[in-house]
Amino acid sequence: MGNAYVIGHITVKDAAKWDAYRGAVPATLAPWGAELVFRGSNARVLAGEHAQADVVVIRFPDRKAADGWHSSAAYQALVPLRRQAADVVLLAYDE
């Protein structure tokens, strides 16, 4: 089994809270061997419909690490802040 990826589609509601959340997430990723691959804003939709303006892609060594990170106490402690800061859809993919 190869890498796993968590992709977040994001619409920011409160920029200050979103900055606080984004600043706290990297420390929760480190124990799981995760790497932030890409963070960006939507330039344009090429096909279909997509409501969220921002995206983040995080690579994990495997699905177990991705699931462990998402369910970890460290990350779950940030979820209330994330919910206040933005509407986020998180998706997990295996490579």
The kind and range of the H/E element at 8 are: strand 4-12
Beta-bridged to residue 59, according to DSSP, are: 5, 35
Report pLDDT digits (tens) over 68-83.
999 999 999 999 999 9
Q: Which domains does the chain have, with CATH numbers?
A: 4-94 (3.30.70.100)
The region that residue 33 occupies, defined by phi over 0 for left and psi between -120 and 50 for alpha, beta otherwise, is left
Give residue 42's pLDDT: 76
Taking only Cα atoms into account, the Rg of the chain, rounded to an integer number of angstroms, comes to 13
Report pLDDT digits (tens) over 30-54.
999 999 999 999 778 889 988 888 9
Give the pTM.
Answer: 0.92
Which residue reads 């997990």 in tokens? 92
Q: How far apart are CA 11 and CA 1, in angstroms?
A: 32
